[in-house]
Amino acid sequence: MNTRFLRNQIAKLLAFLLILTGAAACAQDAVGASVSFDATNKMFRLDGGSVTYAFGINNRGELQFAYWGERLAASDTLPEPRGIGFSDEINDAPQEFPGWGGGTLDEPALKATFPDGNRDLVLHYVSHTISGNSLGVTLRDISRDIFVNLKYTMDPATGILARSATIENKTNTKVLLEQVAAASWNLAAGTDYSMRYLAGRWGGEFQLESEKIEPGEIVLESRRGSTGHQSSPWFAIERGAATETDGKVWFGALAWSGSWRITVEQDPLRQVRITGGFNPFDFGYQLAPGESLETPVFYAGFTTTGFGEASRLMHRYELANILPQAPKPRLRPVLYNSWEATTFDVDEKGQELLAEKASSIGVERFVMDDGWFGQRKNDHAGLGDWYVNPQKFPHGLGSLIDKVHSLGMDFGLWVEPEMVNPDSDLYRKHPDWVINMTGRPRTEDRNQLVLNLARPEVRSYVFEVLDRLLSENKISFLKWDLNRVWSEPGWPEVAPEEQKRLYVSYIRNYYSILQELRAKHPKLEIESCAGGGGRVDLGVLHFADEVWTSDNTDPFDRLLIQDGFTYAYTPGVMMAWVTDSPNWYNQRATSLAYRFLSSMQGSLGIGANLNNWTAEDFATAKQMISAYKSIEEVVQHGALYRLVTPRDGSNISATESVAPDKASAVAFVFLHSQQMRYPVPSIFLLGLDRNAIYSVRPIFGHLSGDAPQTASGAFWMGHGIDADLKGDYDAAAFIFERVSK
Q: Which residues bind ligand GLA (CB under 6 A)?
A: 339, 369-370, 414, 481, 483, 529, 531-532, 548, 551
Residue among 204 and 532 whose Cβ is closer to ligand GLA: 532
Residue among 312 and 484 whose Cβ is closer to ligand GLA: 484
Residue among 369 and 525 whose Cβ is closer to ligand GLA: 369
- What's at 404, amino acid-wise? V
Residue among 532 and 539 whose Cβ is closer to ligand GLA: 532
CB of 653 to ligand GLA, least distance (A): 25
Helix (H, G, I), strand (E, B) or coil at 538: coil
Handedness of CA 61, 62, 67, 72 (dihedral sign): positive
CB of 532 to ligand GLA, least distance (A): 5
Other Cβ atoms closer than 10 A to 118: 14
Residue 206 Rama label (left phi>0; alpha psi -120 to 50; beta) = left
CB of 340 to ligand GLA, least distance (A): 8
Rounded CA-CA distance 537/148 in Å is: 25
Angle between helices 592-599 and 615-637 (to 10 degrees): 20
CB of 462 to ligand GLA, least distance (A): 18
Q: What is the largest CA-CA distance in the chain?
A: 89
Q: Are 132 and 75 in contact (CB under 8 A)?
A: no
Rounded CA-CA distance 218/272 in Å is: 11
CB of 379 to ligand GLA, least distance (A): 6
The residue at minimum Cβ distance from ligand GLA is 370
Residue among 345 and 457 whose Cβ is closer to ligand GLA: 345
Rounded CA-CA distance 157/323 in Å is: 16
Q: Is 551 a catalytic residue?
A: yes
Residue among 169 and 483 whose Cβ is closer to ligand GLA: 483
Rounded CA-CA distance 501/494 in Å is: 10
CB of 605 to ligand GLA, least distance (A): 10
CB of 163 to ligand GLA, least distance (A): 32
Cβ-proximal residues to 454 (8 Å cutoff; 6+ apart), any chain: 491, 501, 502, 505, 506, 509
Q: What is the dihedral of CA 696, 697, 699, 700, to 10 degrees?
A: 100
Instruction: Give the H or E element holding residue 587.
Output: none
CB of 646 to ligand GLA, least distance (A): 22
**Which of these is catalytic: 92, 141, 551, 689?**
551
Q: Which of 642, 649, 646 is nearest to 684 (CA)?
A: 642
Other Cβ atoms closer than 10 A to 520: 13
Residue among 235 and 414 whose Cβ is closer to ligand GLA: 414
For 519, phi then psi, to 5°, come to -65, -40
Instruction: Give the H or E element holding residue 706.
Output: none
- What's at 64, amino acid-wise? Q
Q: Are 697 and 683 in contact (CB under 8 A)?
A: no
Rounded CA-CA distance 644/721 in Å is: 13
Q: Are 100 and 113 in contact (CB under 8 A)?
A: no
Cβ-count burial of 408 within 10 angstroms (0-12 exposed, 13-18 middle, 19+ buried)? exposed
Residue among 445 and 498 whose Cβ is closer to ligand GLA: 445
Pairing of strands 234-239, 249-255: antiparallel
Sheet holding 43-48, edge to edge: 34-38, 43-48, 51-57, 63-70
Q: Is 617 a catalytic residue?
A: no
CB of 339 to ligand GLA, least distance (A): 5
Residue among 318 and 481 whose Cβ is closer to ligand GLA: 481
CB of 272 to ligand GLA, least distance (A): 37
Name the DSSP letter for residue 95.
B
**For the residues of 215-270, what is the DSSP string, one character each?**
SEEEEEEE-SSS--SSB-SEEEEEES---SSSB-EEEEEEE-SSSEEEEEEE-TT-
CB of 376 to ligand GLA, least distance (A): 9
β-strand partners of 212: 194
Instruction: Give the H or E element holding residue 165.
Output: strand 161-169
β-strand partners of 176: 113, 286
Residue among 382 and 687 whose Cβ is closer to ligand GLA: 382
**Which of these is catalytic: 370, 481, 537, 689?**
481
Residue among 42 and 332 whose Cβ is closer to ligand GLA: 332
Which are the catalytic amino acids? 481, 551
